[in-house]
Structure 1
Amino acid sequence: MPFNTVLTRKLGIRVPVVQGGMQWVGYAEMAAAVSNAGGLGIITALTQPSPEDLRKEIRKCKTMTKYPFGVNLTLLPAMVPPDYGAYAQVVLDEGIRIVETAGNSPGPIIKQLKQANPPCVILHKCTTIRHALSAVKLGVDFLSIDGFECAGHVGETDITNLILLSRARQTMPVPFIASGGFADGQGLAAALSLGAEGINMGTRFMCTVEAPIHNSIKQAIVDADETDTELVLRRWKNTSRLFKNKVTEQATKIERESTTGKFEEVAPYVSGKRGREVFINGDKDFGVWTAGQVIGLIHDIPTCEELISRIETEAIQTLSKASSLIVDKQPEPDIAGKPMGDMSANPSSDHNKKVPGEAQIYDIGKSKL
């Protein structure tokens, strides 16, 4: 059953789910699998070593899907910045008209993409309302509102999606999608209810059959809890959410204890090259790699087709259930309690239960009374 949102109408997709750009993951196989399943697949431009390699990857993807797909262009600080303009030109030359942008000072690239005939549909990823409003002035078509739960660059404001999405609904003059913390149809239904036109998922798509990463890493995601991520590089205003492992522990220790504050001390531990090797060799502790708090919601490794179909079904069921809560007449109250020992529903509160290692306010100073 197709959805009808601004996102699905604009992009020509069946389900309002976008596979976000992911370094070392967003190859043609990944993008095609998502697009074939009814969402929007995205090739990550800078996963390709040169603009011409990106051209080959785009052409490869075209042979694997007849459905729309896009390209991600992320602009980040670098000692030797890539030729972003050349990458963007390849996107245009190959007829791609859906681009996800992110990062610093995207104005020149957005202008280049918008001058095409026809102009590109641009989804720009932001972690703050202030940056989102700046992107609107540049002419973006959609904003991808990226909450603090997300993988990778989380920004420096620590605002979660429950607040960010509502603020976007209140202030944004253009449509937006929700990014960070989404893995299922209940999440999609929640995002739509908060005013979004769809969702963007990264970590959830890493844990699919088609994701081009070692199965041991996928299993590590399945086995992880929502607490198994680490914020790194906050000291240098480049905060990133990474999978918690031995390398992130070393990096955070240096970040916390360094007396010089020189980035060179931590640089070897946050190397992207080592992160790429993780996906190839399957050793989750070999280097740093991005993962969102949503890892706590991921419990299997489905195909993209199975995942998106499941999300579609769950979202429809959730929205229908929510709609059924509205009735013509308020029902009679049912205030009868359950028999003692019946734990089938409404278990008693455990607010009086002491948790080991947790201070109980009402215990403090008791011995002095």
Structure 2
Amino acid sequence: MPFNTELTRKLGIRVPIVQGGMQWVGYAELASAVSNAGGLGILTALTQPTPEDLRKEIRRCRAMTKNPFGVNLTLLPALVPPDYAAYARVIIEEGINIVETAGNSPGPVIRQLKAANTIILHKCTSIRHAASAVKLGVDFLSIDGFECAGHVGESDITNFILLSRARQSLGVPFIASGGFADGQGLAAAISLGAEGINMGTRFMCTIEAPIHMKIKEAIVEAQETDTELVLRRWRNTSRLFKNKVASEAVKIEKESTTGEFKEVAPYVSGQRGRQVFINGDKDFGVWTAGQVIGLIHDIPTCQVLISRIEREAIDTLAKAQSLIVDEVKSKL
């Protein structure tokens, strides 16, 4: 086991890589493959329509891996919010002791999970929100830089600064999230003080990811400039893959004279985005992707990907170590 970080020790994993929770992607097929390869696979709770469906998915994943895996529970604004407490109760009843939380006002759910001795990895896009999560007793912070897919926050701070701020001020172990796809990135994150990395978009582009191959091919063909920031006008900014629908949503958002959300609502439908992963039409609806798409050039298995990242990170850290010379010996 070449890596010995707080993350590997506490989660019982071999490689300090967490597969982020992704809506319509975090199913048992992907989570088990990541865990079997030595990382931490994550099921996405709200991808399941009910808490009981989540229970079935947890049991299905457990049948596919003997290694640790976790569940993501994201709290998002909604007219009729899901029963988050019921989802958390199922997680506890099924003996899942690692949960990735994210979103607004997570206090009640985090307290519910911590009462059952659950290890909490909480995703934050700002130091201010991270400091609030520390007060709730989270075990790890997943620091999400502006490069990330999905909800990027409103402060636009990239990971190079955000991770260093986390190291300087938070006093809680943290994971680097947003913009990671290879071992050089893992080595850089560790050098900046992180205990490991969280990858979402990179895991979408693996054999086991339960999405259409044409979408994976679209990621491989894309460049780092092929994302859009949508819903900034309403301070709910999301980074999406730049397709026809996302570009039209941005156009309406910028040109609307009323500023009413209903004008753009049909273009940002999550259900249409879900269909993209099923039908393979990248322009059918909006879907999340990070700027890291510019670093993704193949569609490997999770085993091949994680083994490659592990090897690259070890080589990168060893090379950095070799650059340090003994001044006395160098003068001889």
Identity %: 83
- Give the whole-Å Cα distance in 2 for the aligned partners of 1:30 and 1:2: 24
Aligned to 1:74: 74
Quick one: which amino acid aligns to residue 278 of structure 2?
I
Report how far residue 49 of structure 1 moved.
0.3
Aligned to 2:175: 177
Report how far residue 172 of structure 1 moved.
1.1
- Give the whole-Å Cα distance in 2 for the aligned partners of 1:160 and 1:298: 19
- Give the whole-Å Cα distance in 1 for the aligned partners of 2:241 and 2:62: 32
Report how far residue 168 of structure 1 moved.
0.3
SS state at 1:54 partner: helix
Aligned to 2:211: 213
Aligned to 2:275: 277
Larger Rg belongs to: 1
Aligned to 2:106: 106
Quick one: which amino acid aligns to residue 269 of structure 2?
S
Gaps spanning 5+ residues in structure 2: where? none
Aligned to 1:226: 224
Higher relative contact order (CA 8 A, sep 6+): 2
Quick one: which amino acid aligns to residue 20 of structure 2?
G
Give the alignment of 1:24-103 within 5 angstroms: 24-103=24-103
Report how far residue 79 of structure 1 moved.
1.2
- Give the whole-Å Cα distance in 2 for the aligned partners of 1:174 and 1:243: 32
> Number of residues paired by the alignment?
330
Report how far residue 146 of structure 1 moved.
0.2
TM-score (norm 2): 0.98
- Give the whole-Å Cα distance in 2 for the aligned partners of 1:139 and 1:2: 29
- Give the whole-Å Cα distance in 2 for the aligned partners of 1:286 and 1:134: 38
Deviations 1:269-309 (A, max 9, x none): 00000000000000000000000000000000000000000
- Give the whole-Å Cα distance in 2 for the aligned partners of 1:84 and 1:31: 21
SS state at 1:67 partner: coil
Quick one: which amino acid aligns to residue 136 of structure 2?
L
- Give the whole-Å Cα distance in 1 for the aligned partners of 2:6 and 2:145: 21
Cα RMSD (Å)? 0.9
Report how far residue 329 of structure 1 moved.
3.2
- Give the whole-Å Cα distance in 1 for the aligned partners of 2:259 and 2:187: 44
TM-score (norm 1): 0.89
More helix by share: 2
Give the alignment of 1:293-312 within 5 angstroms: 293-312=291-310
Displaced runs of 4 or more, over 6 A: none
